[in-house]
């Protein structure tokens, strides 16, 4: 019997064991199955060409354990998929095993302890729906069809981050399956080193099967949010437009306001066209105040004096509505490519404004955007050593450049959109790292350079934790932290086992 035949027989035996070991409600989807093409797709259509060998729709921890065992036995990569919203395509993998958590979507709210425990298939909109039933909310992102786990474990910023910190700062504990199949809990008191590491670099250490997160009181119904509305009123769009010739005045004014703004406030600034299909671009600004009405109106007064918007109006909406207002900006199955950085207040200079204008003036698609999201407040209350995640701890603005275009264009057109994104981002000259979930298309050397910028002095400690929990780098389909080597420990004084 030849080597290839022996290998095929072994892989077949491993697959039969996998089939016989999964839960009764679990499903295995193979390339020959009629639902394979739909099942393999993720949010970012840039990765529609990826073809996993197996998609396992898991229903519990046991499924995760047998999937890891199978992948190790046949020598393929395994990757988890929660919401499938990975910018860099980590929710799928060519030739490997995708553990799809679409059947694991329970949300349990404890209104007494004000905590929420979620499974890995839960989306932000589902989390918001359940927590708001108890007058609670978790500080998460602002696109409701995003998966909770990828966003929370990678950092997570949104309307509430200035008040309650980043999503990652609100994790209380996690259940994790390690590369050797062990099921462990990580918290401040159990496997504290692992708990520290997963908050910012989770996929490097295991597959998280449950998260318990701190929730906070956020009013029901019309106590949720105070935002400006656009010309074309609808339940999910609550924004205001400025002509682009006012960009310098408006950006500087908002930058000044942000310096002393209450923590209950945040804003997002980006370019967009009008809903009527006009090709003209406008500066689009969304403000939110999580304050009582009288306080919110008083705090918002300076914003009403900025520039000359096309229309200036205000409306009370629910928190759940506020969490959905960007859903239409980032629909499923477009192609996306993004770069991310961050700046301080002092970096909002004429060079930055000119670079912002250049990006908008040279758009390659009406869906492309240059975006700013407010940081600060409670984000700065934790030190860089509090968790593995820290690149946005000391910054004032997250700056993203997002290329987005329709999926029905020839693939050879992708490059012009990618080059626009790279050029626009380079011109902005953001000195500091941005959102790690937007890291993409880097070779290993470049990725390690980016990791050094993103994690700073935390990187060496991360590599030690990686060595302890995944010494052979089984979990490598991610923003990959390499395990510390024996040589590292012998030659690098910066490595410490403390």
pLDDT in tens, 40-54: 999 999 999 999 999
The helix-helix angle for 350-361 and 414-428 (nearest 10°) equals 170
User: Tokens standing for 478?
Assistant: 């991610």
Answer yes or no: is pLDDT of 422 > 60. Answer: yes
Give me the mean pLDDT over the 323-330 stretch: 90
At residue 313, the pLDDT reads 64
Three-class DSSP category at 210: strand
pLDDT digits (tens, 9 = 90+) for 29-42: 999 999 999 999 99
Answer yes or no: is pLDDT of 441 > 70. Answer: no
Cα–Cα distance, 127 to 140 (Å, whole number): 9
- β strands within 39-149, DSSP E: 54-57, 78-81, 97-100, 107-110, 115-118, 136-137
Residue with tokens 């012009």: 416
At residue 219, the pLDDT reads 66
Residue with tokens 């799928």: 92
Cα–Cα distance, 349 to 336 (Å, whole number): 28
Cα–Cα distance, 11 to 16 (Å, whole number): 9
Least confident of 109-123, 414-428, 461-475, 480-494: 480-494
What percent of the chain clears pLDDT 70, i.e. is strictly above it? 89
The Cα angle at residue 171 between residues 166 and 176, in degrees rounded to 5? 130
Answer yes or no: is pLDDT of 399 > 50. Answer: yes
At residue 228, the pLDDT reads 31
174 C-beta neighbours (distance < 10 Å), count? 27
At residue 278, the pLDDT reads 58
DSSP string computed for 282-341: EEEEEEEE-S-HHHHHHHHGGGGGSS--S---EEEE-HHHHTTTTGGGS-TTBEEEEEEE
End-to-end CA distance of the chain: 52
pLDDT digits (tens, 9 = 90+) for 331-344: 999 999 999 999 99
Cα–Cα distance, 377 to 267 (Å, whole number): 13
Answer yes or no: is pLDDT of 498 > 50. Answer: no
**Are the CB atoms for 323 and 238 separated by under 8 Å?**
no
pLDDT digits (tens, 9 = 90+) for 204-241: 999 999 999 999 998 633 222 333 333 222 222 346 77
pLDDT digits (tens, 9 = 90+) for 341-375: 999 999 999 999 999 999 999 999 999 999 999 99
What percent of the chain clears pLDDT 90, i.e. is strictly above it? 69
Cα–Cα distance, 496 to 461 (Å, whole number): 7
- For the chain, how many residues are written? 498
At residue 411, the pLDDT reads 84
pLDDT digits (tens, 9 = 90+) for 155-181: 999 999 999 999 999 999 999 999 999
pLDDT digits (tens, 9 = 90+) for 64-118: 999 999 999 999 999 999 999 999 999 999 999 999 999 999 999 999 999 999 9
């Amino acid at each position: 019997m030849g080597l290839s035949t022996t290998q095929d027989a072994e892989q077949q035996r491993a697959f039969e064991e996998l089939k016989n070991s999964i839960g009764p409600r679990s499903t295995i989807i193979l390339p020959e199955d009629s639902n394979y093409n739909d099942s393999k797709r993720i949010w970012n259509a840039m990765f529609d060409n990826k073809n996993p060998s197996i998609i396992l729709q898991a229903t519990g921890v046991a499924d995760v354990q047998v999937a890891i065992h199978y992948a190790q036995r046949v020598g393929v990569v395994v990757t988890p998929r929660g919401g499938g919203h990975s910018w860099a395509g980590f929710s799928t993998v060519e030739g490997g095993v995708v553990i799809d958590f679409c059947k694991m979507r329970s949300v349990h709210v404890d209104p007494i302890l004000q905590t929420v425990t979620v499974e890995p298939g839960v989306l932000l909109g589902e989390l918001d729906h359940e927590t708001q039933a108890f007058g609670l909310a978790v500080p998460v992102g602002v696109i409701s069809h995003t998966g909770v786990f990828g966003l929370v474990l990678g950092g997570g910023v949104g309307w509430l981050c200035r008040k309650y910190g980043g999503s990652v700062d609100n994790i209380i504990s996690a259940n994790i399956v390690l590369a050797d199949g062990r099921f462990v809990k990580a918290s401040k008191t159990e496997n504290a080193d692992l708990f520290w590491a997963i908050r910012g670099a989770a996929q490097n250490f295991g597959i998280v099967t449950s998260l318990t997160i701190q929730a906070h009181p956020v009013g029901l119904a019309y106590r949720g949010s105070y935002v400006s509305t656009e010309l074309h009123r609808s339940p999910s769009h609550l924004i205001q437009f400025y002509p682009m010739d006012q960009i310098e005045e408006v950006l500087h004014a908002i930058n000044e306001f942000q310096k002393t703004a209450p923590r209950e406030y945040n804003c997002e600034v980006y370019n967009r066209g009008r809903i009527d299909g006009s090709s003209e671009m406008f500066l689009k600004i969304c403000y939110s105040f999580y304050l009582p009405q009288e306080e919110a109106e008083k705090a918002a007064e300076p914003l009403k004096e900025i520039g000359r918007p096309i229309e200036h109006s205000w409306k009370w909406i629910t928190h759940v509505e506020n969490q959905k207002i960007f859903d239409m900006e980032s629909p499923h199955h477009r192609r996306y490519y993004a770069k991310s950085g961050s700046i301080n207040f002092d970096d909002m200079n004429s060079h930055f404004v000119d670079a912002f204008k250049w990006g908008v003036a040279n758009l390659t698609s009406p869906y492309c955007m240059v975006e700013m999201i407010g940081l600060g407040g409670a984000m700065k209350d934790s030190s860089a050593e509090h968790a593995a995640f820290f690149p946005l701890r000391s910054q004032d603005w997250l700056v993203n450049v997002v290329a987005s275009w329709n999926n029905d264009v020839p693939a050879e057109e992708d490059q012009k959109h990618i080059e626009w994104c790279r050029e626009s981002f380079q011109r902005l000259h953001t000195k500091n790292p941005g959102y790690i979930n937007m890291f993409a298309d880097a070779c290993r050397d470049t990725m390690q350079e980016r990791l050094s910028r993103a994690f700073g002095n935390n990187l060496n400690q991360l590599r030690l934790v990686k060595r302890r929990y995944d010494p052979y780098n089984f979990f490598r389909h991610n923003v990959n932290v390499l395990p510390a080597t024996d040589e590292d420990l012998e030659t690098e004084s910066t490595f410490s086992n403390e």
